[in-house]
Amino acid sequence: MAKVTDEQSKNLETITDPNLRVVILENPILRGDQSISRIEIRKPNVGTLRNLSLQDVLKWDINATNTVLSRVTSPTLNPAELNNMDVSDYTSLAVELTNFLVSAKAKSQAALMT
């Protein structure tokens, strides 16, 4: 039987945990000598949204979205790193965040309307 690598183990954990999403960046973030290309996003709870407008987060207001992402990403991304990200990578993070905030019922109703 083949040995499971650490990366495969992390991927399996992500697949089996509905409260976790992974985004692979097309343009990695450079932090010192480290290149960050894999970002995990944890499902936010109400406390994660403290002092923020849910409406602003759902509209992808940059300040609100950056605040939430800095609270739910691993490794933790700071506002400067988020502001300097490639737009397509940032959009991927925002989409995954939004998927946590919208119920399955709302998603299926939206799909019927298209």
Write the pLDDT tens digit of every residue in 23-56.
Answer: 999 999 999 999 999 999 999 999 999 999 999 9
Confidence of residue 15 (pLDDT cuts 50, 70, 90): low
Residue 102 DSSP label: S
pLDDT of residue 60: 94
Confidence of residue 102 (pLDDT cuts 50, 70, 90): confident
Write the pLDDT tens digit of every residue in 52-82.
Answer: 999 999 999 999 999 999 999 999 999 999 9
pLDDT of residue 47: 95
Q: Indicate whether 104 pLDDT > 90.
A: no
Residue 14 in contact with residue 40, Cβ under 8 Å? yes
The Cβ of residue 66 has, within 10 Å, a number of other Cβ atoms equal to 21
Residues for the chain: how many in total?
Answer: 114
List the chain domain ranges: 6-108
